[in-house]
Amino acid sequence: MNIHVGIDIGAKTSAMGWRQNGKTVGQWEIQQTAKGRKAAVNKMLGLKPLSVVMEATGIYYLDLALELHAAGLPVSVINPKSFHNFAKLMLQTSKTDPIDAQLLAEYGERMTPRLWVPPTADQLTLRAIGRHINRLIGHRTRAKNELHALQATGTSFKLLIEDEEDAIAALDIRIDRLKKAARDAIAKCPNLTLQFHCMMAAPGVGKASAITALAELTVLPVTLKSPQVSRYAGLDVRLTQSGTSINRPGRMSKCGNAYLRAAMFMPALTAVRCDENVKAFYEALVARGKKKMQAIGTVMRKYLIGLWACMRSGEEFDTAKLFSEKDRAKT
């Protein structure tokens, strides 16, 4: 049977739809509970689909994807942006969970997406900690901005200033505790320990940046090539050209993993200031007419590619190799 299944993920329930020989056949509702996921596995084992497609929606897809994969079902977890563009291509204007489930099934039928490879328990733990650290750092930055605003005027109530200071101190403690937990998780796995050591050799990469980058990159298939990793992070260049009337400058797509993009910014900015090879590469870009932020974006992309290469090879990050005179001549 030529059956393809699509699952539209929700927090409490997920809509499941399937197609057979290019036609919509049926739909079903999956409860996001252990019992509901087990029933879904049994249902799909009976259908024997050629593909099971779902979006990477927050964390809600993970448990179901793990159980389906463990049952030997052909699971594909796709980027929501990819599915959004597919829906536009199919001229689908209505949006409901059952409709999205059927569209996901059609996506699997037409696009033959790559099969999902589940991360290990250590990788999932590190990614969860890394993302929570990132969120807490964002909370701390907002709290510091609010404190600065309160301190900028003498009319602020003293208790409010003290409350913001207490909140920042509490966030500092939580962030430090989670950073220690991340380092402990890395230390338990020899492979992660080696990769973390290789990343820390990069100028400008501190422990926080290395933890975030490693947490996000470690769950990716090792078969991905550098351009694919760049697109995954949204650091690839988007061109807008049409005929002779439209020819806009290339821009960073920002369609991928925001955690990785954020993790690359400060290392790139610091390396431009303190590393001769990176500084020369950056200045060559600016001399050729690139705006400063465009040049920083290029350094971010190069840094991400270098970190990915270090993870795969087990070699320490070396700016002399990544930002060589030959590379500067190509810019």
Give 99-126 pLDDT, tens digit per residue. Answer: 999 999 999 999 999 999 898 888 989 9
Give the span between the Cα atoms of 66 and 46, in whole angstroms: 18
Confidence at 81, pLDDT banded by 50, 70, 90: confident
3 φ/ψ sector (left φ>0, alpha ψ -120 to 50, else beta) = beta
Lowest mean pLDDT among 30-39, 85-94, 188-197: 85-94
Question: What would the two tokens of residue 113 be?
Answer: 């997406």
The three-class DSSP label of residue 231 is helix
CB atoms within 10 A of CB 246: 8
- Helix axis angle for 190-200 and 207-217, nearest 10°, is 130
Give the span between the Cα atoms of 122 and 176, in whole angstroms: 20
Residue with tokens 């990469």: 205
Q: Which of 24, 16, 13 is closest to 42 using CA atoms?
A: 16
Q: Which amino acid is at 200?
A: M
What is the pLDDT averaged over residues 2-25?
93
Q: What pLDDT sits at residue 260?
A: 92
Give the span between the Cα atoms of 10 and 23, in whole angstroms: 24
Question: What would the two tokens of residue 203 be?
Answer: 């100028």
Give the span between the Cα atoms of 184 and 203, in whole angstroms: 23
The pLDDT tens digits of the residues spanning 256-305 come to 888 999 999 999 999 999 999 999 999 999 998 889 999 999 999 999 99
Give the span between the Cα atoms of 154 and 280, in whole angstroms: 46
What is the pLDDT averaged over residues 29-33?
94
Whether the predicted pLDDT of 180 surpasses 80? yes
21 φ/ψ sector (left φ>0, alpha ψ -120 to 50, else beta) = left
The pLDDT tens digits of the residues spanning 204-240 come to 999 889 999 999 999 888 888 888 899 889 898 876 6
Percent of the chain with pLDDT over 70: 95
What's the CATH superfamily of 3-111?
Answer: Ribonuclease H-like superfamily/Ribonuclease H (3.30.420.10)
Q: What pLDDT sits at residue 59?
A: 80
Whether the predicted pLDDT of 92 surpasses 90? no
φ/ψ (deg, to 5) at 52: -130, 115
Give the span between the Cα atoms of 17 and 8, in whole angstroms: 8
Give the Å distances, CA to CA, from 137 to 172, 174, 208, 267: 9, 10, 10, 16
Q: What pLDDT sits at residue 196?
A: 95
> Which residue intervals of the chain are DSSP H helices?
34-47, 62-70, 80-89, 97-111, 121-151, 158-187, 190-200, 207-217, 226-232, 258-274, 276-287, 292-313, 319-322, 325-330
Give the span between the Cα atoms of 207 and 181, in whole angstroms: 12
What is the pLDDT averaged over residues 152-173?
95
What is the pLDDT averaged over residues 176-200?
94
Whole-prediction pTM: 0.76
What is the pLDDT averaged over residues 167-171?
97
- Paired with 19 in beta bridges are 4, 24
